[in-house]
A and B are shown apart, each in its own frame.
Chain A
């Protein structure tokens, strides 16, 4: 019986992936065809933009925070804790990274480490601490995960502008005057289109490592097996003698760690934290949730979805510069959200881990 269930799951997953991949490919082919047939039209311009190196470069940069938050969300939710506080983790790490760099002094180096990297790690640390709070609230105190996740988001949304106002007198921080910069790999960066991969923000390299690494950890290691079991069938995991709570804590802390990289990279890539309205994070944490749902909890799929959303945004920014096509950018920014709604409505619900969102009681008194 269990084999048939697994088979069926694998089948639906395969058909789901085939649908998505087929859809994306046919849209791209259509654009390419139209673009080649009518070089002067909007499609021609669109094709030029899509195949330009700078679009690829900015798409990679824009996908960093979304991808890292999505990877984090996968670990947490696979372990059985739905983390809708990712947005909050991005906000808090983005802010902490900048303020720490500013306090240390942007030009200083401590123990051979430039201040901006100290800020980077401080951002990660703040996100991990925040996710630890969330983990304790959800796992030990059995809070509703959705409500606790909302709380994490709202606390960060209030705390970062609050602290910025205390320190700088306004919700935005001052510009550091320095950024993470780019790391250029000689020779390889000269490759025409794909050279963008080798002339990028350091966080882009981290992302290109983190995606396959996450896939490997999740699918090929004992820890990954425990994480998946903790979200699917915690009882079975408990029976074989693995502490479910511990696995879940690890999953949530890992989500804090990964989201922290995304948040730090976001603000330090710009050299400033912007705290107006929804802050500079502006829904990227929620898009990340969408990205991993879209990618069916697979790190590579999640990266694909993040890259797709970021690519749309990058193409849209470039399209604004082409005269004659003044499409309101607000409208184009809705594309990821609308896509998600359509996908959720048509392809149906992606299969959420069986026990995600539920508390697990070992039965013995665990105080």
Chain B
């Protein structure tokens, strides 16, 4: 009894003390990543060749201007609300329901699922690097299920209402079961989940490839992909333009999941067990938590969220499964780390990352800077978030040590890291 009380006190202290600090660290990491990114843009601007320099610093011309790159990125992600080279500044023709913004929200929606998936495992003290694999197989299960069941249902709205939720459940189940494998290996064979989940990512990609190329492929296609599922069984864009592949329903579902996961983690006894075994494993065991079962269940839950991400990718974006699944699972790691593994933090972190990803296309077209820049920024953000000590030292040398008591006024644990 007293062990439980003790663990609770520790937990309360840990979360209370870290919330503000984590927001500050995420924000500082972001700023640092943007700054280092700017240097990389400048340096790469010296490597490439151009007719006229985009910017001149210290008497040296550079082909890429970092400020312009970031402006174009942000502007492109929102669908050009600003006229960058015009005194009028605001674009009178701007419509919030535009293609660029739909792209941003599409990425955001997908990242909410994978970010939540990673966050759940991290809160349980488990490094689930395997969201990508869970997503790949979950998505494939959804595509196959939809394709085979669709002919049995009435087409149109009624069929969609029956099929789509079922297909998402199937994706979640398959993703969850695939996530439970490393969970069980960790719990019962003491196998390091970092290694096993990475292995399972490769295995998932290869298995899915073989299944589709040998058995379930589209015979009319040169690409390794499944036959498309009928339109009525996919999540169609409601208010947004057709090509943006974004459905507001999926976003709403994602946001509802955020609340559900938060509730599960913070308000239920299962969530309590999960967090204590993540933060204080010994205390949790002592307090009567079945650590093995918690490990498997948390990994199932994490995998199910990853599987749902795959289901949404299939139902909203592709309308089929196709080889070369984007690295949404790995981006989910960034999102979750940036969010301090907090479900609510996942939303602004996913929005930020969605903005980066969708804006990168505008950057490539508008400034010539390759869109892979976002991949670099992703790594840099993780690197800086990983070393809070760096910012503490930086803070103490320039005497701006973040004081926990005095900065607790900036909105607590929600948001704040979205810039």
Contacts and interface: CB of A to CB of B under 8 A. Distances in A.
Interface stretch (A40-48, A137-145, A204-212): A137-145
B382 A165 contact: no
B23 interface: no
B71 to A, nearest CB: 19
B333 interface: yes
Interface stretch (B4-12, B52-60, B193-201, B294-302): B193-201
B199 A141 contact: no
Interface in B181-209: 185, 189-192, 194-196, 198-200, 202-203, 206-207, 209
A215 interface: no
Contacts of B372: 158, 161-162, 165, 171
B44 A163 contact: yes
A217 interface: no
Interface stretch (A186-194, A247-255, A339-347): A339-347
B385 interface: yes
Interface stretch (B167-175, B236-244, B269-277, B373-381): B373-381
B407 interface: no
A329 to B, nearest CB: 9
Interface in B366-419: 369-370, 372-380, 382-383, 385-387, 389-390, 393
A337 B194 contact: no
Contact of B378 (A140, A154, A163, A344): A154
A185 interface: no
Given A166-B44, A341-B199, A328 B389 contact: no
Contacts of B370: 161-162, 165-166
Contacts of A150: 129, 333, 382
B86 interface: no
B194 A349 contact: no
Nearest to B372: A162
A157 B334 CA distance: 14
B27 interface: no
B373 A348 contact: no
B393 A367 contact: yes
A290 B195 contact: yes
Interface string B188-232: 011110111011101100110110011000000000000000000
B262 interface: no
Contacts of B129: 150
Contacts of A143: 383, 386-387, 389-390
A84 B192 CA distance: 13
Q: Is the interface of B mostly helix, strand, loop or mixed?
A: helix
B386 A147 contact: yes
A344 B189 CA distance: 7
B77 interface: no
A196 B189 CA distance: 40
Contacts of A148: 383, 386-387
B135 to A, nearest CB: 16
Contact of B379 (A157, A165, A334, A348): A157
A337 B386 contact: no
A341 B375 contact: no
B203 A334 contact: yes
Nearest to A145: B386
Given A344-B195, A348-B189, A154 B382 contact: yes
Contacts of B127: 146
Contacts of A229: none
Given A150-B129, A345-B191, A141 B196 contact: no
A24 to B, nearest CB: 19
A103 to B, nearest CB: 9
Given A166-B44, A349-B191, 14 more contacts: A137-B383, A137-B386, A141-B393, A148-B383, A150-B382, A162-B373, A162-B376, A166-B370, A167-B48, A286-B199, A289-B198, A340-B195, A344-B191, A349-B192
Interface of B: 40, 44, 47-48, 127, 129, 185, 189-192, 194-196, 198-200, 202-203, 206-207, 209-210, 213-214, 324, 330, 333-334, 337, 369-370, 372-380, 382-383, 385-387, 389-390, 393
7 contacts: A162-B40, A162-B370, A162-B373, A166-B47, A328-B209, A331-B210, A337-B202
